Amino acid sequence: MDQREWKIQAGAYGDMDKFFAFGSGPRLCMGKYIGVTMIKSAVANILFNFHVELVKGHHVYSNSSLILNMKNVVGAIARTRNLKLARLDNFEPQPTCARDFMKGLSRPKAIDLHVNQHHGRTKVVTYWPILGVLPCLAQNAHRMHDYCVDISNTHGLTKVLKGPFLEILYTCDPRNFEYITKTNFPNYPKGEEYNKAFEMLGDGLFNSDFDLWHGQRKLAGKAFASNNFSRMVSNLSKKVVEDELVPLLVKLIENSSTVDLEETFMNYTFDVAFFSIFGRNPKCLSKQSPENKFAKAMDDALEAIFFRHVAPPMWWRLCGRLKIGVEKKHHNAWETIDQSMAHYIALKKEELLQGAGQERSDILSTYIYLQNEKQEFTSGGDKFLRDSALTLLFAARDTTGASLSWFFYSVLSNPAVESKILDELKKVKKCNSENDITAKKPWIFNSEDVKGLVYLHAACCETLRLYPGLPLNRKEALHEDVLPDGTMVRPKMMIIMSPFAMARMKSLWGNDCMKFKPERWITEDGQLSNEPMDKFHTFGAGPRICIGKDFALTLLKSAAASLLFNFKFELVKGHKVYPKPSLVLQMKNGLLVQVKRRVF
């Protein structure tokens, strides 16, 4: 290479009429100067600070690719030069390269000099011939929620992923969340593919769109807005805690048993949710009761539906026709759920006939009443009742039970937080009872007791931020659109939004985003802060915001306060806790703890 040919002449490079690396004319590369700046900055800093020698015998040649990469990269030996200026202060465009070089200084060794501008991307999103991103998604299905975090940390808050007959727009940008769920809500329904994946839920609130969804939402709003229903949930949550949950833990203390808190909380929320919907208690918390086939079927169904979200549609449909693998579980779970739902609906109708005139507060009674009144969108007989009740049961039981589990895991991992919550509870106990807080009888808090507890509420919000019950939200675009961050949306494009990843972005929550810190929800004067709410989408936003939000928080705070105040929990040493690959953020191995009576 004759460098003289490239000397600057009269302010311009020589022989540019034969140089087309950046193209030419109107389509000349817009990033030309950025690219040249990055190259010169990397070259200058590396050559000035390091002495680099190519590894002898290492062959370098181009890879067969659209981008002229090197097939065997560049093997080299790097040593620091004998200069005091062994610094990379100005190496902002290529921090990965700087770190790689600094790691190689402990001893001379061969390193990879092939500094790829998208070095991290190749490890997170890899496109295969024909299959596109599908193999990459399948490979990371077991850690899908952490994989979403990896994508965001590598590619930014929004990324378009492509595969055969598939185009996914992934985002954890709160601006896009706001736009999709509120500003341009009509353009982003659940979509046909979503409805097929959740076909078991029928035409319930969670699975419907457009006019049907509006009608379902209106009906559910009537049921939830009832003062009788709110009073029932408040009283019921306290009763189940007092009569079933606390006695269960007392027995475990007597037997010195290790308890899986997640399983216990799933049973607790199932009992409360089931009673709220059907008006009867299945008593899953009772040790004497046999395994609840209904609850087990719901678990199997969720596992299968998650499989449908990460597997190609053609594959899970084929498995469904053949009734093999997870789809066989789905088929069996569906049969069990249908049989159970038909049984409980028949019982409720008979109960209402026998007790005509008696006021009922459960949701199924309200829906039957509205159906008898021939309210709009209530036609369809028992199918309407089945779809509506089943949807609410899925939503209430799994998300709230999982949130309780993550709350206790987070609090038990942070003793200072636990201490502050206990201080609040002691004050409530002192104000509501003349008895000493050291009394042996368990003290049960009701919803009114915990309503004004700022730190407890902040700890709940922080739990729901880091561990949202539904870590992924799926939509489908109807028409072409442009999101606030400039990303183009095409019709039929699948939209995946991750509140789980959003909570782990330093650009949104600061360098301590991974820290369990209830204080971020409290102002300097000790009041709850609304500032973080624009980045908090655990309950969704806009017209489809979770209708059971208050229901969930009542269960969460009521159980958490009573259990923390009366019992001391310790995480079992060596027990690893991490998310399960599921639509609901459950724990893969449960939450094993040792339980003792709390002594003040």
What does each C-alpha distance from 588 to 97, 308, 578 come to in angstroms? 36, 19, 6
Q: How far apart are alpha carbons 431 and 460 in whole angstroms?
A: 23
User: What length does the chain have?
Assistant: 600
What does each C-alpha distance from 346 to 350, 368, 468, 507 come to in angstroms? 6, 11, 35, 53
Half-sphere exposure of 78 (CA within 13 A, CB side): 21
Intervals of CATH 3.30.43.20 along the chain: 122-187+471-513
Q: Is 480 exposed, middle or buried (0-12, 13-18, 19+ CB in 10 A)?
A: exposed
- Predicted pLDDT at 58: 62
Q: How far apart are alpha carbons 549 and 273 in whole angstroms?
A: 13
Instruction: Read off the amino acid at residue 406.
Output: W
Q: Does domain 122-187+471-513 have CATH number 3.30.43.20?
A: yes
Intervals of CATH 1.10.630.10 along the chain: 188-432+440-470+538-597
Does the annotation list 546 as a binding residue? yes
Q: Helices 382-412 and 261-278 sit at what angle, rounded to 10 degrees?
A: 150
Which DSSP string corresponds to 104-123?
A: TTSS--EEE----TTTTHHH
pLDDT in tens, 336-353: 999 999 999 999 999 998
CA atoms 202, 203, 209, 213: torsion sign: negative
Lookup result for tokens 């306060």: 561
pLDDT in tens, the chain (600 residues): 444 444 444 444 556 678 888 888 877 887 676 677 767 777 776 777 777 777 666 667 676 666 777 766 666 676 767 544 333 333 333 344 444 444 444 333 344 333 333 333 345 888 888 889 988 988 999 899 999 999 999 999 999 999 888 899 999 999 999 999 999 999 999 999 899 999 999 998 888 999 999 988 988 888 888 778 888 888 888 999 999 999 999 988 888 778 999 999 999 999 999 999 999 888 888 755 555 788 899 999 999 999 998 888 888 999 999 999 999 999 999 999 999 999 999 999 999 988 765 667 889 998 998 888 887 777 888 999 999 999 999 988 899 999 999 999 999 999 999 999 999 999 998 887 655 555 557 889 988 899 889 999 999 999 999 999 999 999 999 999 999 999 999 999 999 999 999 999 999 999 999 999 999 999 999 999 988 889 999 999 999 999 989 889 988 999 999 999 999 999 999 999 999 989 999 999 999 999 999 987
Q: What's the CATH fold of domain 188-432+440-470+538-597?
A: Cytochrome p450 (1.10.630)
Q: Is 178 exposed, middle or buried (0-12, 13-18, 19+ CB in 10 A)?
A: middle
Q: Is 530 exposed, middle or buried (0-12, 13-18, 19+ CB in 10 A)?
A: exposed
- Does this model's pTM top 0.85? My answer is no
- Predicted pLDDT at 14: 53
